[in-house]
Homo-oligomer: A and B are copies of this chain.
């Protein structure tokens, strides 16, 4: 099967465990850390780059871990970007916009 590099934004919202969600998000951060995938957290999710199958295996693992911590329900949103012949690096898109802003 051909490779498919992907940039994903993952945002996991555990439902049914109250309003303090940071323990669950920290557990997902550990899953990503152990996956070896490049990733960067921000206030509304974590951007991840890597091969499609590795990225989605890590996302499934996040669901397994958060359920194992006791969350009965999980609501996750993803953004997924793929491009023919191009592998995006983290912060590449931000850098490109910032160059445009500086040109002015």
Q: Which A residues fall within an 8 A CB radius of B? A: 2, 4, 7, 9, 11, 13, 15-16, 18-19, 21-23, 25-26, 29-30, 40-45, 47, 52-53, 56, 59-60, 63-64, 67, 71-85, 88, 90-94, 96-101
Question: How many protomers of this protein does the assembly include?
Answer: 4
| Chain B residues, CB < 8 A from A4 | 60, 63-64
8 example contacts (A-B, Cβ-Cβ < 8 A) are as follows A4-B63, A16-B19, A22-B99, A43-B88, A44-B81, A73-B81, A74-B80, A78-B78
Contact B29 A97 (CB under 8 A): yes
Within the complex, which residue of B26, B75, B77 is in contact with A97, where a contact is CB–CB below 8 Å? B26
| Chain B residues, CB < 8 A from A71 | 84
Measured CB to CB, the closest approach of chain B to A48, in angstroms, equals 10
Contact B43 A45 (CB under 8 A): no
Contact A19 B78 (CB under 8 A): no
